[in-house]
Amino acid sequence: MRHCKILVINSGSSSIKYRLFDVRTNNNKHDAHYDLLTKGLIEKIGQQGSGVSDHKQGIQVLLNQLVASRETGLSSLNDICAIGHRVVHGGVTFGHPALITDEVISKIRDCIELAPLHNPANLAGIEACKELLPQTKQVAIFDTAFHQTLPEHAYIYGLPYEYYEKYNLRKFGFHGTSHHYVAHEAARLLKKPLKKLKIITCHLGNGCSITAVKNGKSVDTSMGFTPLEGLVMGTRCGDIDPASVIFLADKENISLEQIDKVLNYKSGLKGISGISNDMREIKQAARQGHHRAKLALDIFTYRIKKYIGSYVAALDGVDAIVFTAGIGENEKDIRQKIIKGLFNFLNRKKVKVFVIATNEELMIAKQTFHLVK
Ligand code: ADP
């Protein structure tokens, strides 16, 4: 039996989340067991009085915590085999996890224009680890990578083709690690190879997206060039007529930047209900008869049902539908409402419905181990 410790890091703009896994393998390295040893969070990076001025200091605090903790069994930082980093955007360059080199770092930097809020923070975590643990192998796992298998007809927009050629303006899709993980789990529960299944995965959290997975590959997904496209989410509008942006700019006399804020932070469940982006609060208000809360719920579930229906068509059928993330895992009424509508036209004996807790960190640990083993 061999042991290998994998550290998973999700470095955001003001926080770093981490998990340490122990990977046990016998001679058959394909059969690995993953145990979570510890997890933690470094918060308020760069904020006055937090004592953590930047990501390098944050990673240093995290490493000290790991060595000090009994749960980890680390005698020194050299006991960490590899570090897996979550990176939001891998553009068209990264369709798979990548061992981090200077060239990979430079390519992740090239993707900053596609994810200006996320990739710089992800990179800051990578660079800090590289400096503090120069001997340890590091791997980047991209949220967009799973969707790099989308066929052209699913990722090209109905815009002049030159914008795709000039700027890579196309559908990328997000939440890839989560969709990939729950699709794998569904195949395991069905006791069938993922490569022989048609699965629709619904990640319904604050951000929401749906993916059509055919034979283990993402063939369509609801988020797009940015995470704004697709479903109605906590604060994001999802699909709207693009002409509404021009109309609004004129009527409200506001800048494109302000409209971007409206679409990303003031819309969705929050914008429709006028109450909150939190599903629990919306449901409570709906129960008390609040019209706009009820309407937000109806729009939310209707849009999901519509997407699932269209993905049944995209896949030429479906073997399983999976619900995951905060709403998907916990909101039984919402799942039932969606499923009830779908079973009016799907064969309920043939289509399995699963609720699977997402575990992006475990997926990152697995992919990291596979790359470095
Ligand atoms: P994020 O996208 O921020 O990771 P989550 O996956 O945590 O979001 O999902 C948050 C959403 O899940 C909120 O709308 C919240 O109301 C809803 N939710 C419903 N029940 C629960 C629960 N028991 N725990 C956490 N979130 C829940």
Annotated domain spans of the chain? 2-142, 191-355
Q: What does the block give as tokens for 90?
A: 């891998």
Cβ(227) – ligand 1 distance below 6 Å? no
Please enumerate, as own/partner, the contacts of 335-343 that have beta carbons within 8 Å and a separation of 24 or more.
Answer: 337/301, 338/301, 338/304, 338/305, 338/308, 341/301, 341/305, 342/305, 342/308, 342/309
User: Angle, nearest 10°, between helix axes 256-265 and 243-252?
Assistant: 110
Q: What is the pLDDT of residue 142?
A: 97
**C-beta 91 within 6 A of ligand 1:** no
From CA 96, how far away is CA 147, in angstroms rounded? 10
Task: For residue 281, give the ligand 1 atom closest to its CA.
Answer: 16
CA distances from 183 to 39, 107, 351, 353 (A): 24, 28, 14, 12
Please tell me the CATH superfamily of domain 2-142, with its number: ATPase, nucleotide binding domain (3.30.420.40)
Q: Based on C-alpha coordinates, what's the Rg of the chain?
A: 21
DSSP letters, 23-55, are EEE-SSTTS-EEEEEEEEEE--TT-TTSS--SH
User: Do 2-142 and 191-355 fold alike per CATH?
Assistant: yes
Ligand 1 pocket, 327 CB below 6 A? Answer: yes
Average pLDDT, rounded, for the chain? 95
In 10 A of CB 103, how many CB atoms? 9
H or E segment to which residue 352 belongs: strand 352-355
Predicted pLDDT at 29: 56
Instruction: Specify the CATH number of the domain 191-355.
Output: 3.30.420.40
Ligand 1 centroid to residue 175 C-alpha, Å:
15
Segments in the chain below pLDDT 50: none
- Ligand 1, from 177, 202, 297, 329: best to mutate by most atoms within 8 Å of Cβ? 329
Q: What is the pLDDT of residue 28?
A: 65
Q: Rounded to an integer, what distance in angstroms lies between the CA atom of residue 351 and that of residue 330?
A: 21
H/E segment holding residue 56:
helix 55-68
pLDDT at 151: 98
325 lines ligand 1 (CB under 6 A): yes
Name 366's Cβ contacts closer than 8 Å, sequence gap at least 6.
32, 34
Atom of ligand 1 nearest to the CA of 277: 14
- Residue 180, SS3 per DSSP: helix
Residue 324, H or E segment: strand 320-324
Q: Looking at ligand 1, which residue's alpha carbon is closest to its atom 23?
A: 330
